[in-house]
Structure 1
């Protein structure tokens, strides 16, 4: 089997020292142009590629890789986060290795271990709904770590979150202002931090408006678009609610499909904007937060730590924005 060419092979082909090849490969520019041309020609001829995995094991070298563990790459929310992180990392010369936990704690733990075994320089993690081990049980050293979208009680990490409770409160009050009183909350499991926070904001708004909460209107079994469609369809049939807060983008889409099937709709505000929200009649009102900013902020924090930032670990809470497009109002009589 043919072996991969090494820097020694390049040095021999280019008739230069191994140190000069190393400097050239690592981007140093104060090399005689004639020597640099010979090295470049030798690299092309031999098909040499730098082995960053091996290099990262040597003192002072890094893999130039950031590990990203998200919940579900198929969800547009997380693919937008990943793209934002990747853009910032790429500009700094880092590759992002992305994996999905599928909300499973044991799978999440295996992914984290695998990424650390591959000597990633930093980690950005969306903690799973079903937590595995405590981060305090992860063997040291842990590279610079940022928790994204959901916090974890671990002192040696930064976190970037959205103001979930504040956004849900604003959305609920908008429905109340438009005349709704029996507002259904449709979302995923309360085991998920974002769902708990959004439900807390919903409950706070009801109390603020003097509306007694009805537990039967809190639906936390909409894990998928299809489940949300079934739940909202049931609400439409039994007439138990006069409006819907959809607590994530999949719940919003499920609600819209239920409205379409029933031939009528309820006032609706969704959480997390999405491209097709503008296509409805009326367009869907949403609580939006800057997903790209969240991803970019997480990447900037990791890169800052890698550059030597030793400031205290912090949790950054990014604001949300209520965008009213008309779906928060009842259908015309």
Structure 2
């Protein structure tokens, strides 16, 4: 079992069987080190989870940097802007500075950001994992740095033992789809982003559950309801193109837009075609209540999600948090008229 303290260069030197100066030269980029020694040092660094601490010289032992790191997926998405602002408010209230960065859904960039923030000796991390992350960055980081995952555990990280703050994605999707079925729709399409994303997989599961429950309940009276799934709406433009195809083919009579970009894309396609389909989106957005009819949505309390994540992290830093758990926050269905 690893020590509870971060490994040092002395630990690496001992594990590799080399001198401290050799390890120091290695981590500072020296290239004239014997290849066998380099390989031993590299293996020891990997085994110990050592990270070169760029800030060690400026912070005395036992002192806090009073800095929290936040890694989100997309700074351009208003959802993450609200999340970041909420985390920052909690940090400010407790005397911490927040350092924010975006992984842009790139696993390599994400891993680099984690390494750099840990090297800067942040006191903890709030992290939105990218869609294709492996467990390597998380399992090494949580040993030495308090961390909370937010919005998604994503992929293999679903098995990592760490505090996680999520929304009830499946439940919200079920309620949204059921609302359109109850209003008379039969061919409800799922319009979403890549199923590599945990949130999309959960929302698709909720969508399927609504179709199954309506079928079992005899809500349609015409036999099984077939799912219609599009998971290629990576942008507003992609979503608009998919919905334009739905309108042209006539195969769909309602749309469940599984994120705010998909809902906005659907609205653009409706405006271009001069006609619309029943629509419910997941995630509220500023323009949703301003159009006619106002867009019905599954609304998350994103500010609450950020606050819970930040407060949980601060409790971890203070060694006052309980064992790792998943905090699942409720969502609300706001029917404004577009579901009909």
Normalising by structure 2, what TM-score?
0.78
Q: Matches of 2:89 and 2:141 in 1, distance apart?
A: 30
Partner in structure 2 of residue 153 of structure 1:
158
> Per-residue deviation at 1:306?
1.2
Partner in structure 2 of residue 67 of structure 1:
69
Q: Matches of 1:133 and 1:271 in 2, distance apart?
A: 28
Q: Matches of 1:262 and 1:131 in 2, distance apart?
A: 39
Does residue 212 in structure 1 map to residue 224 in structure 2?
Answer: yes
Alignment of 1:1-333 (within 5 A): 53=55, 57-135=59-137, 138=140, 141-151=143-153, 152-210=157-215, 212-215=224-227, 217-329=228-340
* Alpha-carbon displacement from aligned partner over 1:96-135 (angstroms, at most 9, x marks no partner): 1111111111111010001000000010110101224534
Matched positions, count: 277
Q: Matches of 1:139 and 1:317 in 2, distance apart?
A: 23
- Where do 5+ consecutive residues of structure 2 fail to align? 1-53, 216-222
Partner in structure 2 of residue 35 of structure 1:
none
* Alpha-carbon displacement from aligned partner over 1:250-291 (angstroms, at most 9, x marks no partner): 000000000000000000000000111011101000001100
Q: 1:144 to 1:103 in 2, by over 3 A?
A: same
Q: Is the 8 A contact 1:123 1:143 kept in 2?
A: yes
Secondary structure (helix, strand or coil) at the match of 1:181 reads coil
Instruction: Note the aligned Cα RMSD (angstroms).
Output: 1.7
Q: Is the 8 A contact 1:270 1:285 kept in 2?
A: yes
Q: Matches of 1:219 and 1:231 in 2, distance apart?
A: 8
Normalising by structure 1, what TM-score?
0.80
Q: Is the 8 A contact 1:224 1:250 kept in 2?
A: yes
Larger radius of gyration: 1
Once the two structures are overlaid, the 10-residue window that deviates more, 249-258 or 56-65, is 56-65
Q: Is the 8 A contact 1:144 1:157 kept in 2?
A: no
Secondary structure (helix, strand or coil) at the match of 1:63 reads coil
Secondary structure (helix, strand or coil) at the match of 2:293 reads coil
> Per-residue deviation at 1:168?
0.2
* Alpha-carbon displacement from aligned partner over 1:134-160 (angstroms, at most 9, x marks no partner): 345526743111010101235442000
Partner in structure 1 of residue 5 of structure 2:
none
